[in-house]
């Protein structure tokens, strides 16, 4: 797939077919994605890749913690958004709920939707990106952000869809337990991976963007 086409067609996929993603495919896309640049070539990333019964156990535990209103433990969590950012977040949720046929009043269905995120969207594979806690936060986060996008773009080449999601790693203690991740490492991003279910309503979502000219200062042209 052409790069520009990949950039323009990638979108978050939140409904997957049950088909497993072969280990060799994940391996190949990670091999490509680790060509991502990082500050001073520090390569501040490490992966946990889960599938099959191991992933099902993790999704069940995370889902149960969410259903029990257990407070998330991951210290990567952000402050609540404000202003225009909050508005965009609300617009996104409203659009997903509209596509899923979930009304504003239906608190139960909304909670079920949230719970689905904590259950990693029932994806057949999850990639968790971790980094040493001692790495320089801002510099290395840029590299890890770029790496996540590389994974999402590389996935398209294999017909796979992705959703980068905080929800999947908010209960980091579950991942730590199953994957033996020590406290010296942070869980930075979760990427759900699988073959997109074309009939899943939320997969139809194409999110809006501000026009380039509104967010760009051009100099010297």
Ligand X SMILES: Cc1cc2nc3c(=O)[nH]c(=O)nc-3n(C[C@H](O)[C@H](O)[C@H](O)COP(=O)(O)O)c2cc1C
Q: Which residues bind ligand X (CB under 6 A)?
A: 11-12, 14, 92, 117, 163-167, 207
In angstroms, give the least distance from the CB of 193 to ligand X. Answer: 14
Q: Which is nearer to ligand X, 11 or 64 (CB)?
A: 11
Strand, coil or helix: 94: helix
Q: 147, 136, 132: which is closest to 191 by C-alpha?
A: 147
Q: Distance between CA atoms of 36 and 47, rounded to whole angstroms?
A: 14
Q: Which is nearer to ligand X, 41 or 84 (CB)?
A: 84
Q: Distance between CA atoms of 14 and 208, rounded to whole angstroms?
A: 17
Q: Which is nearer to ligand X, 68 or 206 (CB)?
A: 206
- H-run or E-run covering 117: helix 107-118
Q: 125, 146, 114: which is closest to 44 by C-alpha?
A: 146
In angstroms, give the least distance from the CB of 213 to ligand X. Answer: 20
Please check whether residue 47 is in contact with residue 127, taking contact to mean a CB–CB distance below 8 angstroms: yes
Q: 84, 112, 82: which is closest to 97 by C-alpha?
A: 112
Beta bridge partners of 164: 191
In angstroms, give the least distance from the CB of 10 to ligand X. Answer: 7
In angstroms, give the least distance from the CB of 11 to ligand X. Answer: 3
In angstroms, give the least distance from the CB of 106 to ligand X. Answer: 18
Q: Which is nearer to ligand X, 135 or 189 (CB)?
A: 189
Q: Which is nearer to ligand X, 56 or 166 (CB)?
A: 166
Q: Which is nearer to ligand X, 100 or 165 (CB)?
A: 165
Q: Distance between CA atoms of 119 and 55, rounded to whole angstroms?
A: 9
Tokens of 118: 């904590």
In angstroms, give the least distance from the CB of 12 to ligand X. Answer: 4
């Amino acid at each position: 797939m052409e790069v520009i086409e990949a950039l323009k067609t990638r979108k978050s996929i939140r409904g997957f077919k049950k088909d497993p993603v072969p280990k060799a495919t994940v391996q190949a896309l990670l091999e490509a994605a680790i060509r991502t640049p990082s500050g001073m070539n520090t390569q501040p990333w490490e992966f946990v890749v889960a599938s099959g019964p191991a992933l099902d156990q993790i999704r069940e535990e995370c889902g149960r913690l969410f259903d029990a209103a257990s407070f998330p433990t991951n210290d990567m969590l952000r402050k609540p958004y404000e202003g225009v950012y909050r508005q965009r977040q609300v617009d996104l949720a409203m659009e997903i709920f509209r596509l899923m046929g979930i009304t504003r009043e239906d608190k139960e269905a909304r909670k079920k939707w949230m719970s689905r995120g904590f259950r990693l969207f029932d994806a057949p594979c999850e990639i968790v990106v971790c980094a040493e806690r001692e790495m320089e936060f801002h510099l290395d986060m840029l590299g890890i952000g770029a790496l996540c996008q590389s994974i999402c773009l590389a996935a398209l080449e294999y017909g796979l869809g992705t959703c980068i999601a905080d929800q999947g790693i908010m209960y980091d203690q579950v991942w730590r337990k199953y994957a033996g991740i020590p406290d010296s490492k942070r869980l930075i991003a979760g990427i759900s991976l699988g073959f997109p279910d074309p009939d899943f309503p939320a997969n139809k979502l194409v999110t809006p963007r501000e026009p380039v000219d509104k967010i760009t200062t051009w100099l010297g042209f």
